[in-house]
Amino acid sequence: MYLCIVDYTTFEGCWPLLLIGVGYTIAITLLSLLFGTLLGILVYALGRSRHRWVREVVRWHKVIVRGTPLMVLLLFIFLVIFSGGNGFIAAVAAFAINFSNFACSVVQTSTEAVGRDQVDAARALGLTNMQTLRYVVAPQALKVAMPPFKYNAVALLKGTAVVGYVALPDLTQAAQTIGTDEMFVPLLTVTIVYFMLAWLLNMLLDYIVKKTNKI
């Protein structure tokens, strides 16, 4: 394993490790958010199925994911399903499945916040289902959904600190690799980077919402 003694003369040579860690952290976060959100929407839709057995499957999915620690889920997917083969895919899958529970709850809460009378009024005015969703439901639902969604998205970002357990060189793993006798500077650097990434993630989500509202 490549190690650096942390001081002002050698820390500069360890920046490539931190940049690789940033790349892995960003990639896992964004892909997990994307697939986790899509899976959450799917789970929400299936939970409204007319078939009881489908609703039961969704209910047990929520119970199992909610009750399983993220670390256990990550190691199970990595060691059992992938047999220790692909840590990156295992990490994205674990975080996406875990995030889907939060996404499903956010979708359910935000859509239920829009009164049924508003939907009925929109249809009475001649709006189609898609127009009702676009002009009535979506704008109000997004306002309700974004605060908890951003909170959980940042929590996902910070949660990626455990992917070192599946042999991925993320930010936290980079700090442990760089530091030997002195850990203060690497951990302080990683803390600042995580803070900046969380801030940028919030800005990105706000930008997406603004662009969506203009469509």
Measure the CA–CA gap between 197 and 19, rounded to whole angstroms: 13
Phi, psi of 32 (to 5 degrees): -65, -40
- Asked whether residue 107 is domain-assigned, the answer is yes
5 pLDDT more than 70: no
- Residue 2 counted as domain residue: no
Task: Please give the residue that has the higher pLDDT: either 33 or 16.
Answer: 33
Q: State the Cα–Cα distance between residues 98 and 40, nearest whole angstrom.
A: 10
Q: What is the mean pLDDT of residues 110-133?
A: 79
In a domain, 4, yes or no: no
Centroid of chain to Cα 127: 34
The predicted pLDDT at position 32 comes to 97
- Whether 117 is in a domain gets the answer yes
**Mean predicted lDDT score pLDDT of the chain:** 84
In the predicted structure, residue 3 carries a pLDDT above the cut 70 = no
Selection from 4-13, 19-28, 128-137 with the highest mean pLDDT: 19-28
Band of the pLDDT at 180, cuts 50, 70, 90?
low
What average pLDDT does this structure show over 132-143?
78
Q: Report the pLDDT value the prediction gives residue 171, as an integer from 0 to 100.
A: 83
49 falls within a domain = yes
Closest CA to 160 of 74, 40, 63: 74
Identify the pLDDT of residue 179: 61
CA quadruple 81, 84, 85, 87: dihedral sign: positive
pLDDT of res. 132: 77
Q: Whole-prediction pTM value?
A: 0.83
Residues 92 and 32: beta-carbon distance below 8 Å: yes
pLDDT confidence of residue 137: 79
For 53-96, the pLDDT digits (tens) are 999 999 999 999 999 999 999 999 999 998 878 889 999 999 99
* Domain presence at residue 176: yes
Establish if 1 belongs to a structural domain: no
For the ranges 27-41, 83-97, 177-191, the lowest mean pLDDT is seen at: 177-191
Token pair of 146 as six digits: 């974004």
Radius of gyration from C-alpha coordinates of the chain: 21
* DSSP annotation string for 127-144: --HHHHIIIIIHHHHHHH
What is the number of domains present in the chain? 1
Q: Check whether 189 has a pLDDT greater than 90.
A: no
Which domain covers residue 50, as residue numbers? 15-214
Q: For the domain that residue 136 is a member of, what is the CATH number? A: 1.10.3720.10
